[in-house]
Amino acid sequence: MTEGVQGARLRRAALAVYPAVLAGERLDFLLDRSGLRGSERASLQWLLSGALRESGILQELLQHLLRPGKQDEQILALLQLALFELRHGQRPDFAIVNDWVSASQLVGKSWAKGLINAVLRRYLRERPGLDADAVSASHPDWLLQRLQDAYPTDWPTIVRANLQAAPLWLRVNRRRISRDQYQALLQEQGHASQRCATLPDALILPQSLPVRELPGWEDGWVAVQDGAAQLAAEILAPQAGERILDACAAPGGKTAHLLSLGADDVLALDSAAPRLQRLEVALQRQGLSTQTRVADAAQISSYWDGRPFHAILLDAPCSATGIIRRHPDILHHAPDLPRLCQEQARLLRGVWPALAPGGRLLYATCSLLPEENELLVQDFLHTQADACRVDDPRCGQRLPGQEEMDGFYYALLRKSAAGEAA
Protein backbone atom coordinates (compact mmCIF):
# COMPACT_ATOMS: atom_id res chain seq x y z
CA MET A 1 0.00 0.00 0.00
CA THR A 2 1.85 3.10 -1.13
CA GLU A 3 -0.81 5.70 -1.74
CA GLY A 4 -1.87 6.65 1.74
CA VAL A 5 -0.42 7.32 5.15
CA GLN A 6 -2.17 5.08 7.59
CA GLY A 7 -0.87 4.81 11.13
CA ALA A 8 0.59 7.27 13.63
CA ARG A 9 4.07 5.66 13.35
CA LEU A 10 4.24 6.69 9.72
CA ARG A 11 3.05 10.21 10.30
CA ARG A 12 5.50 10.60 13.21
CA ALA A 13 8.38 9.50 10.95
CA ALA A 14 7.20 11.80 8.16
CA LEU A 15 7.03 14.78 10.52
CA ALA A 16 10.59 14.08 11.68
CA VAL A 17 12.13 13.54 8.23
CA TYR A 18 10.37 16.15 6.08
CA PRO A 19 11.76 19.30 7.80
CA ALA A 20 15.26 17.74 7.78
CA VAL A 21 15.12 17.20 4.01
CA LEU A 22 13.79 20.70 3.46
CA ALA A 23 16.81 21.89 5.47
CA GLY A 24 19.18 20.10 3.08
CA GLU A 25 19.58 16.50 4.31
CA ARG A 26 19.40 13.61 1.81
CA LEU A 27 16.05 11.84 1.63
CA ASP A 28 17.43 8.37 0.85
CA PHE A 29 19.77 8.42 3.89
CA LEU A 30 16.97 9.54 6.20
CA LEU A 31 14.59 6.88 4.84
CA ASP A 32 17.21 4.24 5.57
CA ARG A 33 17.49 5.54 9.13
CA SER A 34 13.71 5.78 9.69
CA GLY A 35 13.61 2.15 10.85
CA LEU A 36 10.54 1.52 8.64
CA ARG A 37 10.56 -1.40 6.23
CA GLY A 38 8.45 -2.92 3.45
CA SER A 39 5.13 -1.29 2.70
CA GLU A 40 5.50 1.24 5.56
CA ARG A 41 8.78 2.48 4.09
CA ALA A 42 7.21 2.59 0.64
CA SER A 43 4.33 4.71 1.98
CA LEU A 44 6.76 7.06 3.71
CA GLN A 45 8.79 7.39 0.52
CA TRP A 46 5.64 8.03 -1.51
CA LEU A 47 4.56 10.81 0.87
CA LEU A 48 7.94 12.51 1.28
CA SER A 49 9.08 12.30 -2.35
CA GLY A 50 5.71 13.59 -3.47
CA ALA A 51 5.61 16.44 -0.95
CA LEU A 52 9.16 17.43 -1.90
CA ARG A 53 8.33 17.37 -5.60
CA GLU A 54 5.34 19.58 -4.90
CA SER A 55 6.70 21.67 -2.05
CA GLY A 56 6.61 24.86 -4.17
CA ILE A 57 2.93 24.19 -4.92
CA LEU A 58 2.17 23.31 -1.30
CA GLN A 59 3.82 26.49 -0.02
CA GLU A 60 1.89 28.53 -2.54
CA LEU A 61 -1.37 26.88 -1.45
CA LEU A 62 -0.61 27.66 2.18
CA GLN A 63 -0.01 31.31 1.32
CA HIS A 64 -3.63 31.42 0.20
CA LEU A 65 -5.01 29.29 2.99
CA LEU A 66 -3.30 30.84 6.02
CA ARG A 67 -3.61 34.35 7.41
CA PRO A 68 -0.44 36.42 6.82
CA GLY A 69 2.03 36.38 9.71
CA LYS A 70 4.61 34.11 11.31
CA GLN A 71 3.60 30.45 11.52
CA ASP A 72 4.96 27.52 13.50
CA GLU A 73 7.46 25.60 11.27
CA GLN A 74 6.35 22.13 12.40
CA ILE A 75 2.70 22.93 11.74
CA LEU A 76 3.60 24.30 8.31
CA ALA A 77 5.42 21.04 7.51
CA LEU A 78 2.46 19.02 8.81
CA LEU A 79 0.05 21.03 6.65
CA GLN A 80 2.19 20.47 3.55
CA LEU A 81 2.20 16.71 4.12
CA ALA A 82 -1.56 16.68 4.75
CA LEU A 83 -2.26 18.75 1.63
CA PHE A 84 -0.13 16.40 -0.44
CA GLU A 85 -2.08 13.39 0.82
CA LEU A 86 -5.37 15.18 0.11
CA ARG A 87 -4.20 15.97 -3.43
CA HIS A 88 -2.89 12.49 -4.29
CA GLY A 89 -3.84 9.91 -1.66
CA GLN A 90 -6.49 7.30 -2.18
CA ARG A 91 -8.04 7.36 1.30
CA PRO A 92 -11.30 9.25 1.92
CA ASP A 93 -10.82 13.01 2.49
CA PHE A 94 -12.44 12.91 5.96
CA ALA A 95 -10.00 10.20 7.14
CA ILE A 96 -7.00 12.16 5.86
CA VAL A 97 -8.18 15.38 7.54
CA ASN A 98 -8.91 13.61 10.86
CA ASP A 99 -5.57 11.79 10.92
CA TRP A 100 -3.49 14.90 10.24
CA VAL A 101 -5.48 16.95 12.75
CA SER A 102 -4.65 14.27 15.36
CA ALA A 103 -1.01 14.23 14.22
CA SER A 104 -0.54 17.68 15.83
CA GLN A 105 -0.29 15.72 19.13
CA LEU A 106 2.67 13.75 17.78
CA VAL A 107 4.73 16.94 17.73
CA GLY A 108 3.28 18.21 21.03
CA LYS A 109 1.15 20.89 19.34
CA SER A 110 -2.45 19.96 20.14
CA TRP A 111 -3.23 23.69 20.25
CA ALA A 112 -3.06 23.70 16.42
CA LYS A 113 -5.91 21.20 15.89
CA GLY A 114 -8.50 23.86 15.06
CA LEU A 115 -6.16 25.64 12.66
CA ILE A 116 -5.22 22.42 10.80
CA ASN A 117 -8.85 21.37 10.52
CA ALA A 118 -9.90 24.79 9.18
CA VAL A 119 -7.05 25.00 6.62
CA LEU A 120 -7.60 21.50 5.24
CA ARG A 121 -11.39 21.92 5.00
CA ARG A 122 -11.01 25.27 3.27
CA TYR A 123 -8.65 23.65 0.78
CA LEU A 124 -11.25 20.97 0.01
CA ARG A 125 -13.93 23.66 -0.52
CA GLU A 126 -11.83 25.91 -2.79
CA ARG A 127 -9.67 23.25 -4.40
CA PRO A 128 -10.11 23.70 -8.20
CA GLY A 129 -9.22 27.41 -8.24
CA LEU A 130 -6.37 27.04 -5.74
CA ASP A 131 -4.75 24.09 -7.57
CA ALA A 132 -4.72 25.88 -10.92
CA ASP A 133 -2.94 28.93 -9.44
CA ALA A 134 -0.22 26.94 -7.67
CA VAL A 135 1.45 24.80 -10.40
CA SER A 136 3.92 27.41 -11.70
CA ALA A 137 5.27 27.80 -8.14
CA SER A 138 6.55 24.20 -8.04
CA HIS A 139 10.14 24.95 -9.22
CA PRO A 140 12.63 27.34 -7.62
CA ASP A 141 13.40 30.53 -9.58
CA TRP A 142 16.99 29.56 -10.52
CA LEU A 143 15.74 26.40 -12.22
CA LEU A 144 12.54 27.74 -13.74
CA GLN A 145 14.46 30.60 -15.35
CA ARG A 146 17.02 28.24 -16.87
CA LEU A 147 14.37 25.83 -18.14
CA GLN A 148 12.41 28.69 -19.68
CA ASP A 149 15.56 30.03 -21.40
CA ALA A 150 16.66 26.62 -22.70
CA TYR A 151 13.21 25.26 -23.61
CA PRO A 152 10.96 28.21 -24.52
CA THR A 153 8.16 25.89 -25.69
CA ASP A 154 8.81 22.65 -23.78
CA TRP A 155 9.39 24.01 -20.26
CA PRO A 156 5.76 23.58 -19.07
CA THR A 157 5.87 19.92 -20.19
CA ILE A 158 9.18 19.46 -18.35
CA VAL A 159 7.80 21.02 -15.17
CA ARG A 160 4.71 18.80 -15.30
CA ALA A 161 6.87 15.70 -15.94
CA ASN A 162 9.01 16.58 -12.91
CA LEU A 163 5.87 16.53 -10.77
CA GLN A 164 4.81 13.03 -11.84
CA ALA A 165 5.99 9.95 -9.97
CA ALA A 166 8.32 7.91 -12.21
CA PRO A 167 7.56 4.31 -13.17
CA LEU A 168 9.87 1.53 -11.99
CA TRP A 169 12.36 0.55 -14.71
CA LEU A 170 14.11 -2.79 -14.41
CA ARG A 171 17.08 -4.14 -16.33
CA VAL A 172 17.01 -7.91 -16.52
CA ASN A 173 20.46 -9.45 -16.07
CA ARG A 174 20.66 -11.44 -19.30
CA ARG A 175 23.51 -13.48 -17.85
CA ARG A 176 21.05 -14.94 -15.36
CA ILE A 177 17.63 -14.99 -17.04
CA SER A 178 15.91 -13.76 -20.19
CA ARG A 179 13.56 -10.79 -20.20
CA ASP A 180 10.62 -12.97 -21.27
CA GLN A 181 11.23 -15.46 -18.46
CA TYR A 182 11.53 -12.64 -15.92
CA GLN A 183 8.38 -10.92 -17.14
CA ALA A 184 6.51 -14.23 -16.71
CA LEU A 185 7.82 -14.52 -13.13
CA LEU A 186 6.64 -10.99 -12.33
CA GLN A 187 3.25 -11.80 -13.81
CA GLU A 188 2.96 -14.92 -11.62
CA GLN A 189 3.47 -12.66 -8.59
CA GLY A 190 0.74 -10.30 -9.73
CA HIS A 191 3.01 -7.54 -11.14
CA ALA A 192 2.09 -6.52 -14.67
CA SER A 193 5.02 -5.10 -16.63
CA GLN A 194 5.64 -3.72 -20.09
CA ARG A 195 8.56 -4.47 -22.40
CA CYS A 196 10.46 -1.49 -23.76
CA ALA A 197 10.62 -1.78 -27.56
CA THR A 198 14.00 -0.04 -27.89
CA LEU A 199 15.89 -1.53 -24.92
CA PRO A 200 16.32 -5.30 -25.08
CA ASP A 201 16.66 -5.92 -21.33
CA ALA A 202 14.18 -3.36 -19.99
CA LEU A 203 10.84 -3.90 -18.25
CA ILE A 204 8.62 -1.10 -16.97
CA LEU A 205 6.30 -1.42 -13.98
CA PRO A 206 3.76 1.35 -13.47
CA GLN A 207 4.60 1.80 -9.79
CA SER A 208 7.52 1.56 -7.44
CA LEU A 209 7.99 -1.64 -5.45
CA PRO A 210 10.43 -2.49 -2.64
CA VAL A 211 13.31 -4.24 -4.45
CA ARG A 212 13.31 -7.21 -2.10
CA GLU A 213 9.83 -8.07 -3.37
CA LEU A 214 11.26 -8.52 -6.88
CA PRO A 215 11.77 -12.19 -7.80
CA GLY A 216 15.45 -13.18 -7.76
CA TRP A 217 16.62 -9.80 -6.41
CA GLU A 218 19.14 -11.31 -3.99
CA ASP A 219 20.45 -13.54 -6.78
CA GLY A 220 20.99 -10.61 -9.10
CA TRP A 221 18.45 -11.47 -11.75
CA VAL A 222 17.49 -7.87 -12.11
CA ALA A 223 18.66 -4.31 -11.39
CA VAL A 224 16.70 -1.08 -11.00
CA GLN A 225 17.82 1.28 -13.76
CA ASP A 226 15.88 3.94 -15.65
CA GLY A 227 15.53 3.47 -19.39
CA ALA A 228 17.56 6.59 -20.14
CA ALA A 229 20.44 5.23 -18.04
CA GLN A 230 20.20 1.87 -19.85
CA LEU A 231 20.96 3.66 -23.11
CA ALA A 232 24.59 4.29 -22.07
CA ALA A 233 25.84 0.72 -22.43
CA GLU A 234 23.65 0.18 -25.51
CA ILE A 235 25.20 3.20 -27.25
CA LEU A 236 28.75 2.35 -26.19
CA ALA A 237 28.14 -1.24 -27.43
CA PRO A 238 31.12 -2.91 -25.73
CA GLN A 239 32.89 -5.79 -27.48
CA ALA A 240 34.70 -8.65 -25.76
CA GLY A 241 38.45 -7.96 -25.61
CA GLU A 242 38.09 -4.17 -25.61
CA ARG A 243 39.72 -2.13 -22.83
CA ILE A 244 37.03 0.10 -21.40
CA LEU A 245 37.27 2.92 -18.87
CA ASP A 246 34.17 3.69 -16.82
CA ALA A 247 35.49 6.98 -15.50
CA CYS A 248 32.77 7.96 -13.00
CA ALA A 249 31.41 4.55 -12.26
CA ALA A 250 29.74 4.45 -8.85
CA PRO A 251 27.26 3.22 -7.76
CA GLY A 252 27.76 1.00 -10.77
CA GLY A 253 24.48 0.76 -12.69
CA LYS A 254 26.19 1.33 -16.02
CA THR A 255 29.28 -0.73 -15.16
CA ALA A 256 27.07 -3.73 -14.43
CA HIS A 257 25.23 -3.21 -17.69
CA LEU A 258 28.49 -3.02 -19.69
CA LEU A 259 29.67 -6.26 -18.08
CA SER A 260 26.36 -8.02 -18.66
CA LEU A 261 26.58 -7.09 -22.35
CA GLY A 262 29.90 -8.91 -22.60
CA ALA A 263 32.56 -6.32 -21.73
CA ASP A 264 35.40 -8.25 -20.07
CA ASP A 265 38.10 -5.64 -19.42
CA VAL A 266 36.52 -2.66 -17.65
CA LEU A 267 38.35 -0.35 -15.26
CA ALA A 268 35.71 1.20 -12.99
CA LEU A 269 36.92 4.41 -11.35
CA ASP A 270 35.31 6.73 -8.87
CA SER A 271 36.74 9.45 -6.66
CA ALA A 272 34.41 8.51 -3.77
CA ALA A 273 35.56 5.36 -1.97
CA PRO A 274 32.22 4.63 -0.19
CA ARG A 275 30.36 4.88 -3.49
CA LEU A 276 32.84 2.51 -5.11
CA GLN A 277 32.10 0.03 -2.31
CA ARG A 278 28.42 0.22 -3.25
CA LEU A 279 29.45 -0.58 -6.83
CA GLU A 280 31.35 -3.65 -5.67
CA VAL A 281 28.34 -4.89 -3.66
CA ALA A 282 26.02 -4.29 -6.63
CA LEU A 283 28.31 -6.19 -9.01
CA GLN A 284 28.66 -9.06 -6.57
CA ARG A 285 24.88 -9.37 -6.27
CA GLN A 286 24.63 -9.62 -10.06
CA GLY A 287 27.43 -12.21 -10.26
CA LEU A 288 29.79 -9.78 -12.00
CA SER A 289 33.25 -8.47 -11.21
CA THR A 290 35.76 -6.05 -12.62
CA GLN A 291 38.80 -3.99 -11.73
CA THR A 292 37.97 -0.97 -9.53
CA ARG A 293 40.02 1.98 -8.37
CA VAL A 294 39.51 5.09 -6.26
CA ALA A 295 40.95 7.93 -8.34
CA ASP A 296 40.33 11.33 -9.84
CA ALA A 297 39.54 10.33 -13.43
CA ALA A 298 41.05 13.55 -14.79
CA GLN A 299 44.46 12.66 -13.30
CA ILE A 300 45.26 9.80 -15.67
CA SER A 301 48.83 9.45 -14.44
CA SER A 302 47.42 8.18 -11.11
CA TYR A 303 45.75 5.09 -12.60
CA TRP A 304 46.61 4.64 -16.29
CA ASP A 305 49.29 2.15 -17.36
CA GLY A 306 49.65 3.77 -20.81
CA ARG A 307 47.69 1.12 -22.76
CA PRO A 308 44.96 3.11 -24.49
CA PHE A 309 41.26 2.42 -23.88
CA HIS A 310 39.10 1.42 -26.86
CA ALA A 311 36.09 3.05 -25.25
CA ILE A 312 35.45 5.45 -22.37
CA LEU A 313 32.20 6.12 -20.55
CA LEU A 314 32.24 9.52 -18.83
CA ASP A 315 29.03 9.71 -16.80
CA ALA A 316 29.94 13.03 -15.25
CA PRO A 317 28.78 14.47 -11.92
CA CYS A 318 26.07 17.02 -12.74
CA SER A 319 23.09 19.06 -11.51
CA ALA A 320 20.82 15.98 -11.86
CA THR A 321 18.06 18.25 -13.18
CA GLY A 322 16.82 15.43 -15.44
CA ILE A 323 15.90 13.11 -12.57
CA ILE A 324 13.83 15.43 -10.36
CA ARG A 325 10.80 13.12 -10.61
CA ARG A 326 12.89 10.45 -8.82
CA HIS A 327 14.90 12.77 -6.55
CA PRO A 328 12.66 15.75 -5.80
CA ASP A 329 15.08 16.96 -3.10
CA ILE A 330 17.09 18.36 -6.06
CA LEU A 331 14.49 21.16 -6.15
CA HIS A 332 15.78 22.24 -2.75
CA HIS A 333 19.53 22.36 -3.36
CA ALA A 334 20.67 24.95 -5.88
CA PRO A 335 23.86 23.48 -7.41
CA ASP A 336 27.07 25.43 -7.90
CA LEU A 337 26.75 25.33 -11.70
CA PRO A 338 29.97 27.14 -12.67
CA ARG A 339 31.95 24.73 -10.48
CA LEU A 340 30.14 21.69 -11.91
CA CYS A 341 30.72 22.79 -15.52
CA GLN A 342 34.39 23.40 -14.80
CA GLU A 343 34.66 19.91 -13.34
CA GLN A 344 32.87 18.31 -16.30
CA ALA A 345 35.20 20.05 -18.77
CA ARG A 346 38.24 19.08 -16.66
CA LEU A 347 37.13 15.42 -16.67
CA LEU A 348 36.49 15.37 -20.42
CA ARG A 349 39.84 16.94 -21.25
CA GLY A 350 41.56 14.84 -18.59
CA VAL A 351 40.48 11.39 -19.84
CA TRP A 352 40.74 12.14 -23.59
CA PRO A 353 44.50 11.35 -23.87
CA ALA A 354 43.86 7.82 -22.55
CA LEU A 355 41.50 7.05 -25.48
CA ALA A 356 42.97 5.02 -28.34
CA PRO A 357 43.09 6.56 -31.84
CA GLY A 358 39.82 5.50 -33.48
CA GLY A 359 38.33 4.93 -30.01
CA ARG A 360 34.95 6.22 -28.78
CA LEU A 361 33.94 8.22 -25.72
CA LEU A 362 30.40 8.55 -24.47
CA TYR A 363 29.81 11.74 -22.48
CA ALA A 364 26.68 11.47 -20.33
CA THR A 365 24.84 13.50 -17.73
CA CYS A 366 21.39 13.35 -16.16
CA SER A 367 21.12 17.12 -16.56
CA LEU A 368 18.76 19.24 -18.65
CA LEU A 369 21.01 22.31 -18.70
CA PRO A 370 22.81 23.13 -21.97
CA GLU A 371 25.91 24.47 -20.18
CA GLU A 372 26.57 20.98 -18.75
CA ASN A 373 25.71 19.24 -22.00
CA GLU A 374 25.59 20.46 -25.58
CA LEU A 375 27.45 23.74 -24.98
CA LEU A 376 30.20 21.96 -23.10
CA VAL A 377 30.59 19.31 -25.82
CA GLN A 378 30.59 21.92 -28.59
CA ASP A 379 33.30 23.84 -26.78
CA PHE A 380 35.35 20.63 -26.47
CA LEU A 381 34.92 19.81 -30.17
CA HIS A 382 35.99 23.32 -31.17
CA THR A 383 39.24 23.07 -29.31
CA GLN A 384 40.15 19.36 -29.51
CA ALA A 385 41.46 18.82 -33.04
CA ASP A 386 41.35 15.01 -32.96
CA ALA A 387 37.73 14.78 -31.70
CA CYS A 388 34.54 14.51 -33.73
CA ARG A 389 30.93 13.64 -32.99
CA VAL A 390 29.39 10.33 -34.04
CA ASP A 391 25.75 10.69 -35.13
CA ASP A 392 23.53 8.37 -33.14
CA PRO A 393 19.77 8.97 -32.94
CA ARG A 394 19.77 7.88 -29.29
CA CYS A 395 22.14 10.73 -28.37
CA GLY A 396 21.36 14.37 -27.65
CA GLN A 397 19.16 15.92 -25.00
CA ARG A 398 16.39 13.67 -23.71
CA LEU A 399 13.63 15.26 -21.63
CA PRO A 400 12.00 13.68 -18.55
CA GLY A 401 8.83 11.76 -19.34
CA GLN A 402 9.76 11.15 -23.00
CA GLU A 403 9.27 7.43 -23.62
CA GLU A 404 8.64 7.26 -19.84
CA MET A 405 12.37 7.84 -19.25
CA ASP A 406 14.38 10.28 -17.13
CA GLY A 407 15.98 13.39 -18.60
CA PHE A 408 19.51 12.58 -19.86
CA TYR A 409 22.12 13.86 -22.27
CA TYR A 410 24.45 11.75 -24.40
CA ALA A 411 27.19 12.72 -26.86
CA LEU A 412 29.20 10.01 -28.60
CA LEU A 413 32.65 11.29 -29.62
CA ARG A 414 35.36 9.62 -31.66
CA LYS A 415 39.10 10.16 -31.67
CA SER A 416 40.57 10.29 -35.15
CA ALA A 417 42.70 7.30 -36.09
CA ALA A 418 46.40 7.85 -36.69
CA GLY A 419 46.95 9.99 -39.82
CA GLU A 420 43.21 10.71 -40.18
CA ALA A 421 41.78 14.26 -39.98
CA ALA A 422 38.98 14.69 -37.37
Ligand X SMILES: C[S@@+](CC[C@H](N)C(=O)[O-])C[C@H]1O[C@@H](n2cnc3c(N)ncnc32)[C@H](O)[C@@H]1O
Active site residues: 366
Residue among 56 and 252 whose Cβ is closer to ligand X: 252
Residue number closest to ligand X, CB atom: 248
Residue among 117 and 277 whose Cβ is closer to ligand X: 277
Residue among 186 and 276 whose Cβ is closer to ligand X: 276
* Minimal distance, residue 255 CB to ligand X, in Å: 7
* Minimal distance, residue 10 CB to ligand X, in Å: 30
| Residue partners of 351: CB distance under 8 A and separation at least 6 | 245, 247, 297, 298, 300, 312, 314, 361
Task: Please write down the HEC assignment for all residues of the chain.
Answer: CCCCCCCHHHHHHHHHHHHHHHCCCCHHHHHHHCCCCHHHHHHHHHHHHHHHHCHHHHHHHHHHHCCCCCCCHHHHHHHHHHHHHHHHCCCCHHHHHHHHHHHHHHHCCHHHHHHHHHHHHHHHHHHHHHHHHHHHHHCCHHHHHHHHHHCCCCHHHHHHHHCCCCCEEEEECCCCCCHHHHHHHHHHCCCCCEECCCCCCEEEECCCCCHHHCCCCCCCCEEECCHHHHHHHHHHCCCCCCCEEECCCCCCHHHHHHHHCCCCCEEEEECCHHHHHHHHHHHHHCCCCCEEEECCCCCHHHCCCCCCEEEEEEECCCCCCCCCCCCHHHHHCCCCHHHHHHHHHHHHHHHHHHEEEEEEEEEEECCCCHHHCHHHHHHHHHHCCCEEECCCCCCEEECCCHHHCCCEEEEEEEECCCCCCC
* Minimal distance, residue 320 CB to ligand X, in Å: 8
Residue among 265 and 296 whose Cβ is closer to ligand X: 296
**CA dihedral in degrees (286, 291, 294, 299; nearest 10)?**
-130
* Minimal distance, residue 177 CB to ligand X, in Å: 21
Answer whether 227's CB lies under 8 Å from 195's CB. Answer: no
* Minimal distance, residue 347 CB to ligand X, in Å: 6
Q: Which amino acid appears at position 211 of this protein?
A: V
Residue among 109 and 346 whose Cβ is closer to ligand X: 346
Q: Give Cα 263 distance to the centre of its chain.
A: 25
* Minimal distance, residue 254 CB to ligand X, in Å: 4
Q: Which residues bind ligand X (CB under 6 A)?
A: 229, 248-254, 269-272, 275, 296-298, 315, 317, 347
Residue among 33 and 293 whose Cβ is closer to ligand X: 293
* Minimal distance, residue 251 CB to ligand X, in Å: 5
Residue among 135 and 272 whose Cβ is closer to ligand X: 272
**CA dihedral in degrees (295, 299, 301, 305; nearest 10)?**
60
* Minimal distance, residue 200 CB to ligand X, in Å: 18
For residue 251, whether the previous peptide bond is cis, meaning omega lies within 30 degrees of 0, is yes
